[in-house]
């Protein structure tokens, strides 16, 4: 399941707000991938703006990685910000869905908390 939030704001403005809000809520911004620019520089352009912001909540990351190192393959949480028509979309894969792949039901509460926080970060960034 995807979590999607839409806004009329531009990609750059949403990205900046997303980084600011994530940091204010205790998430680290691990990396930002300028997808449109990267693909264009490789000769494979796309016709819309797209960036991916990777965020991580250190306490939660430590808890889940202490239980199962394979979960690192799904980390950090990636929030895509892209233009679709006249709207900007923030989209991410729900952590509660991701955790199911690892058959670790005891980690579902942590995934739910992270998911709720990410949804709030996305919604605030879209305002």
Q: 61: domain CATH number?
A: 3.30.310.70
Q: Which token pair is 7?
A: 């806004």
Distance separating alpha carbons of residues 58 and 45, to the nearest angstrom? 35
What's the pLDDT tens digit per position in 31-40? 999 999 999 9
Q: By C-alpha distance, which of 100, 97, 94 is closest to 77?
A: 94
Note down the domain range covering 104: 2-126
Give the chain's domain count. Answer: 1
pLDDT in tens, 63-107: 999 999 999 999 999 999 999 999 999 999 999 999 999 999 999
Task: Please name the residue that has the structure tokens 């995807």.
Answer: 2
| pLDDT value of position 19 | 98
Rounded mean pLDDT, 104-119: 96
């Amino acid at each position: 399941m995807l979590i999607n939030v839409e806004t009329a704001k531009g990609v750059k403005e949403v990205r900046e707000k997303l980084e600011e809000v994530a940091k204010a809520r205790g998430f680290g911004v691990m990396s930002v991938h300028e997808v449109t620019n990267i693909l264009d520089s490789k000769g494979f352009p796309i016709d819309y703006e797209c960036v991916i912001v990777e965020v991580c909540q250190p306490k939660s990351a430590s808890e889940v990685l202490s239980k199962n190192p394979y979960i690192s393959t799904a980390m950090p949480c990636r929030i895509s910000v892209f233009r679709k028509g006249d709207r900007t979309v923030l989209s991410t894969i729900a952590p509660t869905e991701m955790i199911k792949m690892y058959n670790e039901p005891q980690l579902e509460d942590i995934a739910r908390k992270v998911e709720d926080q990410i949804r709030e970060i996305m919604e605030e960034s879209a305002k």
